[in-house]
Amino acid sequence: MKTNTYRIHAGCVRSFISWIEINAATPEEAVAEARRKDLELLDATEDCNSGYPWSQFTVYDENGKEVLHVLDAEARLREAAPVLLESLKDLLGDLPSVQGGVCQHCGREYHDIPSGDCPSDDCPSFHARAAIAKAEGRE
């Protein structure tokens, strides 16, 4: 089977990039091979240690054209986090969860709470408020 040479750029949570060249039949196979070359990726960069997993890979062909970009689940989540945070804030809105004694998110009735945050720890608004507080460093 004919193989091609691909240049792999690998990144992790730290803000640096490492690169190595891989011979493989496809860009996907090149990424799979790069994942097995942890030590070579570490050797190719100055600011890294084994405490940070490689979470994103960009594959370039012989002409320098990007042919594949892969983000692992954690990297995709980090990239989406700012939008998710703003979306949670928008979904909660400016009004309290409990209005007129009823939580607008879980439907529980609170006759002793005419207006305020829902106290149920299994309510979606309870979890959303906790996630927002954690993201903003207020937990």
Choose one of 71, 99, 117: the last residue of a domain: 71
Reply yes or no on whether the pLDDT at 40 is more than 90: no
Q: What is the mean pLDDT of residues 66-76?
A: 85
Q: How far apart are CA 114 and CA 120, in angstroms?
A: 15
Residues 58, 89, single domain; the answer is no
Residue with the larger pLDDT of the pair 42 and 62:
62
Residues 33, 47, single domain; the answer is yes
Residues 8, 63, single domain; the answer is yes
Residues 22, 80, single domain; the answer is no
Residues 9, 58, single domain; the answer is yes
Q: What is the mean pLDDT of residues 60-72?
A: 89
Collapsing DSSP states into helix, strand and coil, what is residue 21? strand
Reply yes or no on whether the pLDDT at 48 is more than 60: no
Choose one of 71, 99, 118: the last residue of a domain: 71
Number of residues that make up the chain: 139
Please tell me the total count of domains within the chain.
2
Residue with the larger pLDDT of the pair 115 and 74:
115
Quote the mean pLDDT of the chain.
86
Q: Whole domain around residue 49: which residue ranges?
A: 4-71
Choose one of 71, 86, 110: the last residue of a domain: 71
**pTM for the full model?**
0.54
Residues 78, 52, single domain; the answer is no
